[in-house]
C-alpha cells in the first residue's frame, strides 16, 4: 500500500504566495480532490484525476480522499489559503476518526499555506499586530448563540477579529446581527475591513468603521476584519490608509 | 527617491515553506534589517548590507529601515513566520506614524509568510479546525492582567489558543500562571501542545494535557497550543496521535 493523502493549502490566490512544499505535493499527486473552483485554479496536468465536489460536502470529499489513498493513489486534498483554517484538514481527520480503521495507518501530511487572514492583514498593514482571533460566522455547524457569545467575549477582551464565511445566500442576516452585537461593546470608530479575493485579479478592499459597516459590503469570498479599540489608521498621501494595531496595550509609552 | 521597505515573513524555517514572493523581495533588497538569528538564516548574498539588531529593539530597527529607505535604499525587514503576527509589521507602522512625515510617502509592502501558528497546527493535524485565537504571553508591552483576562475570555467562549512568547529568562513565571488560570475554566483533559522550531532540524513537539502541562516544556522558541473542550486525539499505529478540533460545535451529528 503506497497511497497517501496530502492536505494542501494553496494560498490566497497569487501563484507567488503558494509555498513550494504545497506546490511540490500538488505536482506529485495522482488524484486531486476539492471544491470545484479551487481545483480549477490548479488543474493543469492532464495526467491527474480530478474529483471535484460542491461546497458543503467536506466530509464526503474527505472520505473519498482517504478511500482513494487506501487503493494506493497519491491524493491531494486542496483548500484555498491554509487547509487548517476553515479548510479541509479538520474534515479529513473527522472522517478518519469515524471511518475505516485502516485510514489511520495511511501516510497523511498537512502542508501549510498563507491563509486568507494573513494575506488580507498584510495587504492592509498590520491589523493583527496584537492578540487576535479567527472565527467562522457560519451557523451551519455551530449554534448561532455560540457565535454571538464568542464575538462578545472577543470584543470585550480586546481581541481584533477576522471572520470567515461572513455571508451567503443561505445565511443572509448573520453578518448584520454580528456587527450590531459588536456595536454594543466596541466604539463605532473601530476600523472594519472588507477584503475580497486578496492577491487575485478581482481583489477588492474597503476600509470603513464599525458604525458604518454594512453587510452588503461582503460576499462569500470576503474576509471581514474588525480591529480592537486601539487599531489605528495612518493616512497615506495618494493612497488608502494603512491599518495597524499597536503592540502596546494600555501602558504609557 | 526610489527607496522602499519590504516587510517580509520568512516562514517557519524550512526553505520550501517560504513564499516565492517573500524570497523575491528578499533577493532584490540592498539592505537587510532584522533580529540577528533571522538574518543569519537568509544572509547569503554578500552584496547586501546587513543591519542586525538584538531582540526587543523593534522600534529602533523599524526607524532604521524607514530611514534607509528615505536615503534611497531598498530595505527588507525580516521576521520569522509572518511579519504581521508578532513580527515586525506593527513596529514599522508604529514607527511610521510617530516619525518623519516623509516616511508615510514611502513605498512599503508587507509580504505574508506561513506563521508559526499555521506551521505548528499543520504539523500536529488540525488543532485550529474551529474558531481560535492567537496571543502573546509577553507582558513587556501589555499588563499581565489584560493577558489573564484574554485567556479567560477565550477559554470560556470555547476558542482554541496559540501562545507566542510563552516564556523567557526575563519572564519565567507567566506561562505557569497562564496554565493555572486556564485550568479553572477548561477540563484537565484538553490537549496542550508544545511545538518548538517546527520545520527546522531542531524541531521538537510534545503533546500533553492541560492537567499535565508544565512550563519547563517551553522555551523562547516554542509555540504553545491549547485546544478547546472538544479538541480530540486520533491514535496512530506507530506514531504520535493526530490532534484536531471538530468543525461542529454542540449539535447532534
Name the strand (E) or helix (H) holding A191. Answer: strand A191-196
Q: Indicate yes or no: CB of A131 within 8 angstroms of CB of B128.
A: no
Q: Within a domain: residue A131?
A: yes
pLDDT at A41: 84
CATH code of the domain containing A19: 3.40.1010.10
Confidence class for position A203, pLDDT limits 50, 70, 90:
very high
Q: How many domains does chain A have?
A: 2
End of a domain among B85, B114, B143? B114
Burial class (CB in 10 A: 0-12, 13-18, 19+), B16: middle
Together in a domain, B12 and B44: yes
End of a domain among B97, B114, B131? B114
Model confidence pLDDT, tens digit, residues A45-69: 668 999 998 877 899 999 999 999 9
Residues of B in contact with A162 (CB under 8 A): none
pLDDT at B154: 98
Q: Which of A36-40, B22-26, B154-158 has the least mean pLDDT?
A: A36-40
Together in a domain, B122 and B49: no
Together in a domain, B101 and B160: no
Tell me if residue A217 falls in helix, strand or coil. Answer: helix
Reading the block at residue B45, the C-alpha cell is 548574498
Model confidence pLDDT, tens digit, residues A99-119: 999 999 999 999 999 999 999
Q: Within a domain: residue B23?
A: yes
Tell me if residue B232 falls in helix, strand or coil. Answer: strand
End of a domain among A114, A129, A148? A114
pLDDT at B252: 52
Together in a domain, A77 and A128: no
Together in a domain, A216 and A127: yes
Q: Within a domain: residue A253?
A: no
Together in a domain, B48 and B14: yes
Task: Give start and end residues of each alpha helix (H) in B136-232.
Answer: 144-157, 174-183
Rounded distance between C-alpha atoms, residue A73 and residue A66, angstroms = 9
The C-alpha of A130 sits at a distance from chain B's nearest C-alpha, in angstroms, of 7
Burial class (CB in 10 A: 0-12, 13-18, 19+), B203: middle
Together in a domain, B100 and B127: no
Q: Within a domain: residue B153?
A: yes
Together in a domain, B63 and B149: no
Residues of A in contact with B156 (CB under 8 A): 153
pLDDT at B124: 98
Mean pLDDT across the stretch A141-170? 97
Together in a domain, B107 and B225: no
Cβ atoms < 10 Å from Cβ of B66: 23
The mean predicted confidence, pLDDT, of chain B is: 95
Dihedrals phi, psi of B90, to nearest 5 degrees: -60, -35
- In eight-state DSSP terms, residue A81 is B
Helical pair B89-98 and B58-70, crossing angle rounded to 10 deg: 70
Q: Which of A161, A244, A252 to mutate to test the interface with B (most CBs of B within 10 A)?
A: A244
Q: Within a domain: residue B250?
A: no
Rounded distance between C-alpha atoms, residue B189 and residue A161, angstroms = 28
Residues of A in contact with B93 (CB under 8 A): 125-126, 129, 234, 242, 244
Model confidence pLDDT, tens digit, residues B19-54: 999 999 999 999 999 999 899 888 776 689 999 988
3-state helix, strand, coil in chain B (%, to 5): 35, 30, 40
Cβ atoms < 10 Å from Cβ of B236: 15
Whether residue A253 has pLDDT greater than 50: no
Together in a domain, B148 and B70: no
CB burial readout A81-93, b (16+ within 10 A) else e: bbbbbbbbbbbbb
Closest CA to B225 of B156, B157, B154, B149: B154
CATH code of the domain containing B215: 3.30.950.10
Model confidence pLDDT, tens digit, residues B54-77: 877 899 999 999 999 999 999 999
- In eight-state DSSP terms, residue A245 is -
Residues of B in contact with A234 (CB under 8 A): 93, 96-97, 104
Q: Which of B20, B85, B128 lies nearest to residue A84, judging by beta carbons?
A: B128
The mean predicted confidence, pLDDT, of chain A is: 95
Residues of B in contact with A118 (CB under 8 A): 9, 82, 84-85, 112-113, 115, 118
Q: Within a domain: residue B249?
A: no
A245 → chain B, closest CA residue: B90
Say what the alpha-carbon torsion angle A55, A56, A60, A64 is, to the nearest 10 degrees.
30
Mean pLDDT across the stretch A174-197? 98
What is the domain extent for residue B103? 4-114
Q: Are strands B31-35 and A49-53 parallel, antiparallel or unpaired?
A: unpaired
Q: How far is CA A234 from the centre of its chain?
A: 26
Together in a domain, B17 and B110: yes
Q: Indicate yes or no: CB of B89 within 8 angstroms of CB of A158.
A: no
Task: Give start and end residues of each alpha helix (H) in chain A.
Answer: 20-28, 36-42, 58-70, 89-98, 116-124, 144-157, 174-183
Q: Which of B20, B96, B109, B112 to mutate to test the interface with A (most CBs of A within 10 A)?
A: B112
pLDDT at A45: 64
Q: Which of A84, A146, A152 lies nearest to residue B250, judging by beta carbons?
A: A146
Q: Within a domain: residue A139?
A: yes
Whether residue B253 has pLDDT greater than 80: no
Together in a domain, B98 and B150: no
Percent over 90 (pLDDT), chain B? 89
Q: Indicate yes or no: CB of A104 within 8 angstroms of CB of B14.
A: no
Query: How many residues in chain B?
Result: 253
Model confidence pLDDT, tens digit, residues B72-101: 999 999 999 999 999 999 999 999 999 999
Compute the count of residue pairs across chains A and B with CB atoms less than 8 Å apart.
250
Whether residue A251 has pLDDT greater than 70: no
Amino acid at each position: 500500500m503506497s497511497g497517501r493523502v496530502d492536505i494542501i493549502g494553496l494560498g490566497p490566490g497569487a501563484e507567488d504566495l503558494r509555498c513550494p512544499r504545497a506546490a511540490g505535493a500538488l505536482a506529485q499527486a495522482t488524484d486531486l480532490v476539492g471544491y470545484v473552483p479551487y481545483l480549477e485554479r490548479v488543474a493543469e496536468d492532464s495526467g491527474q484525476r480530478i474529483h471535484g465536489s460542491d461546497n458543503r460536502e467536506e466530509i464526503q470529499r474527505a472520505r473519498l480522499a482517504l478511500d482513494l489513498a487506501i487503493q494506493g493513489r497519491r491524493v491531494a486534498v486542496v483548500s484555498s489559503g491554509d487547509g487548517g483554517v476553515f479548510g479541509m484538514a479538520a474534515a479529513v481527520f473527522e472522517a478518519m476518526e469515524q471511518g475505516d480503521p485502516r485510514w489511520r495507518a495511511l501516510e497523511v501530511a498537512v502542508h501549510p499555506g498563507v491563509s486568507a487572514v494573513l494575506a488580507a492583514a498584510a495587504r492592509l498593514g498590520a491589523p493583527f499586530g496584537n492578540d487576535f482571533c479567527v472565527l467562522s460566522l457560519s451557523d451551519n455547524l455551530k449554534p448561532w448563540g455560540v457565535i454571538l457569545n464568542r464575538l462578545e467575549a472577543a470584543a470585550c477582551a480586546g481581541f481584533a477579529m477576522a471572520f470567515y464565511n461572513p455571508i451567503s445566500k443561505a445565511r443572509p442576516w448573520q453578518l448584520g446581527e454580528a456587527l450590531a452585537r459588536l456595536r454594543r461593546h466596541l466604539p463605532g470608530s473601530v476600523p472594519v475591513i472588507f477584503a475580497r479575493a486578496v492577491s487575485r485579479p478581482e481583489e477588492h478592499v474597503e476600509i470603513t468603521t464599525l458604525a458604518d459597516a454594512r453587510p452588503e459590503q461582503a460576499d462569500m469570498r470576503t474576509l471581514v476584519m474588525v480591529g480592537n479599540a486601539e487599531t489605528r489608521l495612518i493616512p497615506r498621501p495618494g493612497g488608502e490608509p494603512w491599518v495597524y494595531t499597536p503592540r502596546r496595550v494600555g501602558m504609557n509609552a
